[in-house]
Chains A and B, each alone.
Chain A
Amino acid sequence: MVEVVVEVKSLLKEYGSLRAVDNISFELYSGEVFALLGPNGAGKTTTVEILECIRPLTSGSATVFGYDVTKREDVKEIKKRIGVLPQDFSALDKLSVKENIDLIGGMYEKKLDTMEVIRLLDLEEKAKEKFETLSGGLKQRVGVAAALVNDPLLVFLDEPTTGLDPKARRDVWSVIENLKRMGKTVFLTTHYMEEAQRLADRIAIINKGKIAVIGSPPDLISQYGGRQVVVIRKADKKLAETLHEKYGGTILNHGGDVIVKVDDVKEMWQILSTLTSMKMDKEIDIQTPTIEDVFLKVVGGRITEEGELK
């Protein structure tokens, strides 16, 4: 039986008249990577901070490992069991990487050996360097190391790659993949579609405080992402007509590309066989729908690099 690590029911968070989190419910299962995907201001960080016990909820309920986030004694138990990389993580500038991780580790009764965590995050060479001298990506890795130092069962990563360059972002992704391999349960918030799709076992798309959809990436894509597309580059009108006669729905786009939407893998293979029999030497591109298409479908917009809804 799958263990429920986090259970959120009808969670509501209001700031005066603003409803930041609007009656959301979801569960988080042991060992999975769960991504809360949404634009800035969608309520991701508010939700996570309620679960981290540093922000009170307005109504509804939230439990972590069965402990209630609103009860003082339960909060102590939750804090022992979770690791957190907060949004815009920072540490004491003049302390070294090791000293900063030691500082966080020192707050727990039980903790891992700091050097072990440093090795895990591939930070050995930087262990003695001051935090202020590190690049953005390395600082995030220190943040993840600090989140792991108490050997938590559940790790919250709030926007772990925001503001990082592509290489640093990929480095953090590999760290998260490692966490998954280690069997940690990871609660990830992000506004990057690719990140959520690549890392998460399940994704909840959140916008304006409400969860729009929730499910595994393949399920969401198959349900909301639309059909796969075969694109034949620089093809002529005759090919378009031939394919249209056989499969229907074929269009010729402005640039001279022929685009065929397919319903399943079988149909795609049939098209590819047809093209092979015609001895076509055109460039063929197969496009699969992504979480971005899902997002576009359920929210009606795209998220910019900066996290804004467009």
Chain B
Amino acid sequence: MKRPLIIFIAVTKNWMRSKSGVFFSILFPVLLLLVFGAVFSGGGTATYTLFVQNLDRTTDGKPTNMTTFFVDALNSTETFNLRDVPPDVDATPYARDAVGPLGGNIRILIISKGFEEDLVNGTFKVRVGISYSTLNTTFQYFAPYLSNETLIATEQGIAQLGEYYTNMTERSASLTLIMDSSDQSAGIVKSIVMNVANAFNYRLIEAKNVIDFEEEPITGVRQFKAIDFYLPGIIAAFIMTNGIVGVTSNTTEFKRRGIIKRLSITPLAKVEWILGNILSQTLLNIMLTVIVIAIGWLVFGVQAIPDAISVVLIFLGSVMFSGIGMTLSGIIKDVEAASAVGNAIAFPMMFLSGTYWPIEFMPTYMQSFSRVLPLTYFSEGLRYAMIYKYSEGILTNMIIISALATAFIIVGSLVTRWKEK
């Protein structure tokens, strides 16, 4: 064990004295943390610009009462920055001009002419329908207890109401939402507008909620902030990047400069060289994790501090990704190619492994693909360990990571050339 330790000390010292190396190694995870922290720290709520063209006007050109209430209801969500579009213009070019060339996506809500009247009539038909349905149900229930005369009279009355309801004209108020197909917020905007419209519908027929909805955190899980849920992903991502990009580039550079060749002439075995490098990388990752969490704690007050089991996972993850790095550097000959290949593997993996968003958000075939990526198990394991304290999940991922780490060390040893050709 003496030789791996000597390699570990030398490689670590060499890295720690490289100011630019240390700076960029720290910069990447800290930037990730600051970006995610800034976006998800809850410092503000998202607002969406929504142009509203109200075509339902009174004879003197003012918006009708119902449309005014509807626009007020939209405003009360505090989600929209509402901008009025005059009724006599083509709304789309008007909105485009208003936002300008750099203004981003446009969203336009057109309240159709006759909105108020259609709403009143539509609501009346709904009310009649509810009355008919209620009477019919009640009648069916009490029919056995009624006298024959009462039964016939009531049945006729309900039938007449049903006929009246059937003959009523079907009318409903119309809203049109115009949005860019490329607008990533389109779904959110549509959902909010529909919710407001539904709430408006219920209020008009004076319906009340009969289903109570309450939200509670999972038992035993501390009250974390949004950034806490991203922290395991951020840690997993930079450990993966350091292994796949950092180890691959550094080792290929050592190879190019003949340092590995020089060491191979000594009694050092290649597995000892690999172990020394992996140990060094692991120490670097643990140090960076401490720095990232310290900054996260100071700036955003993160609470997801790794416990002993998380540290074990970080160790295993470092070993696994360093093993992948050693494998790649054993295969790739020149430094430029090593960096390019490392990045080509690391970046897709970073975004397809459930690190920054749940795997369930991705299409099914992508979800299957993400299940073969080592980072999926590492970030999932860390999230279970740091946030959910889900023992079974931690153990399962830990076993998978350990197996992959062992496999990559073996493959790395096999493909690392200790002899020239």
Contact = CB atoms under 8 A, between A and B. Distances in A.
Contacts of A88: 258
Interface string A45-65: 000010011111000000000
B261 A76 contact: no
B373 interface: no
Nearest to B273: A107
Given A84-B262, A89-B258, A94-B13, A107 B419 contact: no
Contact of A107 (B3, B11, B18): B3
A115 B263 CA distance: 20
Contacts, number: 77
B41 to A, nearest CB: 38
Contacts of A56: 419, 421
A99 B266 contact: no
Interface in B210-258: 257-258
A150 B15 CA distance: 26
B259 interface: yes
Nearest to A15: B421
B265 interface: yes
B10 interface: yes
B262 A104 contact: yes
Contact of B266 (A92, A93, A107): A107
Interface string B258-274: 11011111111000000
Contacts of A274: none
User: What size tier do the contact residues of chain A reach?
Assistant: 20 to 34
Contacts of B257: 90
Interface string A232-244: 0000000000000
Q: Main SS of the interface on chain A?
A: loop
Interface residues of B, number: 26
Contact of A55 (B10, B14, B419): B419
A103 B13 CA distance: 12
Interface string A111-139: 00000000000000000001000000000
B208 interface: no
B210 to A, nearest CB: 71
A79 B419 contact: no
A92 to B, nearest CB: 4
Interface string A66-93: 0000000000100110101011111111
B3 A95 contact: no
A52 B10 contact: no
B419 A92 contact: no
Contacts of A89: 258, 262
Given A84-B262, A91-B259, A104-B262, A76 B6 contact: no
A13 to B, nearest CB: 10
B261 A95 contact: no
A15 B420 CA distance: 12
B203 interface: no
B82 to A, nearest CB: 60
Interface in B258-297: 258-259, 261-268
Nearest to B258: A90
A104 B267 contact: no
Interface string B1-14: 01100110011011
Given A90-B259, A94-B17, A84 B265 contact: yes
Given A89-B258, A106-B6, A54 B420 contact: yes
Contact of A54 (B10, B17, B261): B261
A159 to B, nearest CB: 12
7 A-B pairs with least C-beta separation: A107-B266, A94-B17, A106-B6, A90-B257, A92-B14, A55-B420, A94-B14
11 contacts: A15-B421, A53-B265, A54-B420, A87-B258, A91-B262, A92-B259, A103-B10, A104-B262, A106-B3, A107-B263, A130-B17
